[in-house]
Amino acid sequence: MPADLLGRPGSTCWAFHALLPDADAQQAKASYPLHLLRDLSTFDASTLHSSARKELRRCQARSHVVRVSDPDLLRTQGWNVFSQNARRCHRDAEVTEKAYLAGVNAMVTDTRQ
């Protein structure tokens, strides 16, 4: 998005992100910390700072991860959950129920195997 088309975020918006063309790169005001891991196989919780490990343990204690492998469950109950979340996050018109149902099989298929 060219920088001249960007405006200030609304009063209820903390920020927004846009990819600027190279010609407008000098107007970019955001930065993201980047960490290069040379050997991903050695990366685990023990490599984190103690405060990050504590936060990770807290998140793990509060979370329960469930893998849904049956598309029928998502077809019958998933649209209500998905649409409520979309409304809460103000993304009402992005995905229709028909598009959601068409993509259910892709949601439960793990292609990393």
pLDDT digits (tens, 9 = 90+) for 19-51: 778 888 777 777 666 677 888 888 899 988 999
C-alpha–C-alpha distance, residues 106 and 92, integer Å: 21
C-alpha–C-alpha distance, residues 82 and 50, integer Å: 35
C-alpha–C-alpha distance, residues 51 and 57, integer Å: 10
Q: Report the predicted TM-score, pTM, of the whole model to 2 decimal places.
A: 0.42
Q: How does the average pLDDT of the chain come out, rounded? A: 80
Q: Is the pLDDT of residue 52 over 70?
A: yes
Query: What residue type is 24 in one-letter code?
Result: D
Degrees to nearest 5, angle at CA 94 with 92 and 95 = 95
Q: How confident is the model at residue 62 (pLDDT cuts 50, 70, 90)?
A: very high
Residue with the bigger pLDDT between 12 and 65: it is: 65
Q: What was the pLDDT predicted at 61?
A: 94
Quick one: CA torsion of 89, 93, 95, 101, rounded to 10 degrees?
A: 110
- As a whole number, mean pLDDT of residues 65-93 equals 82
Neighbours of 9 (CB within 10 A): 10
